[in-house]
Amino acid sequence: MSQSTYRTPKGTHDVLPEEQRYMTYIKKAVRHRARQAGYQRIDTPIFERRDIFERGIGEHTDIVEKELFIVSAKKQDESDDTELALRPEFTAGVCRSYIEHAMDQLPQPVELYSIGQLFRHDRPQKGRYRQFHQFNFEIIGIKDPSLDAQLIQVMVRIFNDLKILKRLNLQINNIGLPENRQAYVEALKEFFIGKERNLPELDRARLATNPLRLLDSKEEDTQILIKSAPQLEQFLDNESKEYHATVLEYLQELGIAYQENPRLVRGLDYYTQTVFEFWDESTGAQNAVGGGGRYDGLIELLGGKPTPGIGFAGGMERIIWHMKEAGVEAPHKDQVDVFVAQLGPEAKKQCLTLISRLRDKGVHTIGALGEASLKSQLRHADRFGAKYTLLLGQMEVKEGTTIMRDMAAGKQKQIKFDDAVETVTQLLVEKNLDTYSLKDALGDVDED
C-alpha cells in the first residue's frame, strides 16, 4: 500500500479490476434473466428530493433517521431543489419515475430493473458499506400472488446462475395491511409496558418510534421477550392470509424452497403483505444477500393513484463475497494476447501500425513504446501474461520482418512483417483463445 495519506472515504471501497470481473459477470446474469422475463432497464438519478425517501421509506426507519446522505447545494434560482439526498435504495425513485412519466398508461404490469450504487451512512462493518451496489427489480401496476412468485423465481435463477443458490436460504413472511400492523403495534406497545427496562437501549428507542423492528432485533434479551409477545400473524386479515398461502403454493409449484419466518418484517415502512429475504445459510440475517417485498401503498403516498407494486434488491458486494467463498470464478476477457516490443525510432513508428492492426482484429495488444532494452521488454511481456511477443528492431525494419516469440514455449522465429497480424491471429484462434471483436463488443449492449 502506498504511503499517501489519501484513502477511500470511510465505508467506501474501490472496485478494482479483479472485482470488476465479478461485477460484470453478475450484471450479465441479471440482464439475461431480466430480459427473459420482460423487465426493462431504468436508471433514475443517484440523488432525489430527500422527502421522496423520507415519506416513502418512513421517517423513523434506520435508513432515513440515521443513514441518509444529505446533499447540500446552493440554490441558484427558485426552481432549484436544495433538499436532496443520495439514494439509499431504488424503489422510491423508481416509483417517483412511474408517476412522473405516467407509466400507468403503459400495458401493466410495468417491469423495471436497475443496477447501480446506493448510499447509506451506516456504521461500516463486514459486508456493510456506505457506498455499495445493488441490482433491483420492480413489478408495478398489477397485484397477483403469481407475480410475487415469479419475481422470487427470477432471483432464484440469478443466484443459481452465479452458483451461490445452495449457500442461501429464502425466508418469507406476510406482514399484512397497514391497519393490521397498526393494531399489532398497539398490542406490542401494551405488551412491553413495564418491561422496557429489560430491553437494550437501542430497542427501547425503537419501541417508541418503530416497534416492529423489535421483531428482527439481533439482541438476545429482546428476542427472549418477543417469544412471549403477541404474534403479528394473529392480527392479519383474511385476504392477507389467503394471499400468503397462495404465494407459498405457487413457490411450491415452481419448486422453490423457502422457510416461513413470522418475525421477518424488513426495516422499511412502505412494505405491505409479502416480504422476503435471501439469508446466508450459515450465518443468518446479518448477511442477507438480498430482500424485497410488496409496497401497495407507496405510489399513492408519493402522489400517484393507488397502484400495487413488488420489488427486490440484491447486494452485489455480498454476492461477490459468496462467489469467492464458493470458489466461483468470474469468466472475463481481460487477457493480454500480444505484447509488441521495439527498439529504435523507425521500429517504434512501425509498431504503432502493427498494434492498431492487431487491435482491429480483436487481438488484445499491449505495446511497449518506451526506450527499455528488448530483454526488459520481454520480462514485461511475461508479467502481462502475453501469449505472444512480436519484436521489432532496426535489423527487422530493414529486412521487413519481425520476430514472433511464443511466450509459453520460449521459442521464437522470424516472420514477414506483413504476415504478422494474420499469423498471430491464426495461432490464437487455433489455441481457442477468444479474441474480442468489435462486433462482439457492440453486440453486448448496455455493459454497465
- Per CB under 6 A, residues contacting ligand AMP are 89, 120, 122, 127-129, 132, 134, 288-291, 313, 315, 317-318
C-beta closer to ligand AMP: residue 91 or 401: 91
For residues 238 and 257, give the distance between their C-alpha atoms in angstroms, rounded to a whole number. 24
Q: How far is the CB of 134 from ligand AMP (least distance, A)?
A: 5
Residue 59 CB neighbours (<10 A): 13
C-beta closer to ligand AMP: residue 59 or 239: 59
Q: Contact 365/396 with Cβ under 8 angstroms?
A: no
Q: Contact 11/129 with Cβ under 8 angstroms?
A: yes
Cα-based distances in Å from 60 to 63, 108, 130, 209, 333: 8, 32, 19, 6, 46
Helix extents (H) in 58-106? 62-65, 91-100
C-beta closer to ligand AMP: residue 264 or 403: 264
Q: How far is the CB of 129 from ligand AMP (least distance, A)?
A: 4
Q: How far is the CB of 189 from ligand AMP (least distance, A)?
A: 25
Q: How far is the CB of 184 from ligand AMP (least distance, A)?
A: 21
C-beta closer to ligand AMP: residue 322 or 364: 322
C-beta closer to ligand AMP: residue 134 or 365: 134
Which residues have C-beta within 8 Å of that of residue 205, sequence separation ≥ 6? none
Q: Which residue is nearest to ligand AMP (CB)?
A: 315
Q: How far is the CB of 127 from ligand AMP (least distance, A)?
A: 6
C-beta closer to ligand AMP: residue 326 or 408: 326
Q: How far is the CB of 282 from ligand AMP (least distance, A)?
A: 15
Q: How far is the CB of 122 from ligand AMP (least distance, A)?
A: 5
C-beta closer to ligand AMP: residue 53 or 235: 53
C-beta closer to ligand AMP: residue 264 or 330: 264
Q: How far is the CB of 82 from ligand AMP (least distance, A)?
A: 26
Quick one: CA torsion of 146, 263, 154, 322, rounded to 10 degrees? -170
Q: Contact 106/97 with Cβ under 8 angstroms?
A: no
Please give the grid coordinates belonging to residue 102: 405516467
- DSSP assignments along 236-286, one per residue: --HHHHHHHHHHHHHHHHTT---EE-TT---S-TT-EEEEEEEEETTTBGG
Question: Rounded to an integer, what is the distance from CA 161 to the centroid of its chain?
Answer: 14
C-beta closer to ligand AMP: residue 181 or 318: 318
Q: How far is the CB of 96 from ligand AMP (least distance, A)?
A: 17
For residues 34 and 39, give the distance between their C-alpha atoms in angstroms, rounded to a whole number. 5
Burial of residue 447 (CB within 10 Å: 0-12, 13-18, 19+) is: exposed
Q: How far is the CB of 277 from ligand AMP (least distance, A)?
A: 7
Q: Contact 246/240 with Cβ under 8 angstroms?
A: no
Q: Contact 416/345 with Cβ under 8 angstroms?
A: no
C-beta closer to ligand AMP: residue 247 or 289: 289
Question: Rounded to an integer, what is the distance from CA 126 to the centroid of its chain?
Answer: 17
For residues 179 and 236, give the distance between their C-alpha atoms in angstroms, rounded to a whole number. 9
C-beta closer to ligand AMP: residue 264 or 366: 264
- DSSP assignments along 170-208, one per residue: EEEEE---HHHHHHHHHHHHHHHTTTGGGS-HHHHHHHH
Q: How far is the CB of 72 from ligand AMP (least distance, A)?
A: 22
